[in-house]
Amino acid sequence: MSSELTVLAAYLFTLALTLLAMIMGFIIVFQAYRGYRRHNSRPMLYLAIGLALVTIAPFLLSVMFTIAGDFLSLGSFAFAYMLPILSRCAEIIGLGCILYSLYMQ
C-alpha cells in the first residue's frame, strides 16, 4: 500500500511539474504572438511557433501518451520509442522555426 502511494505521489508531482512548465511555455509563446500581432513581424510569428513546439508540444505529447496509454493499452514500445521520437521531431522543427526567425530579413 505504501509503495502505491509513493508511486502515485511521484506521478502527481511529475504531472504538476509538467503542467507548470507547460503554462510557463504558454505564457512565453503568448507574449511572442502578441509581439507578432502588435508589430506585424513575421520573425515574431516564427519565434512564437518555434517556442510552442519546443516548450509546449513535448509536454502535450507526454500527457496525451500517458492518457491514451491507459485507454488504449499502449505497450512499452510507444513510451520508449514513439514518444521520444515525436517529442524530438517537434523540438527540432521548433528550433528550426526559431533559427529561421533569427535569420530572416
Q: Is the CB of residue 101 less than 8 Å from the CB of residue 47?
A: yes
> For the chain, which residues make up each domain, given as ranges?
22-103
Report the pLDDT value the prediction gives residue 31, as an integer from 0 to 100: 94
In the structure, what pLDDT confidence band is assigned to residue 1 with cuts at 50, 70 and 90? low
Q: pTM for this one?
A: 0.80
What pLDDT, in 10s, does the model give residues 9-68? Answer: 998 998 898 889 889 999 999 999 999 999 999 999 999 999 999 999 988 888 888 888
In the structure, what pLDDT confidence band is assigned to residue 82 with cuts at 50, 70 and 90? confident
Closest by CA position to 91, among listed 33, 49, 36, 28:
49
DSSP one-letter code for 105: -
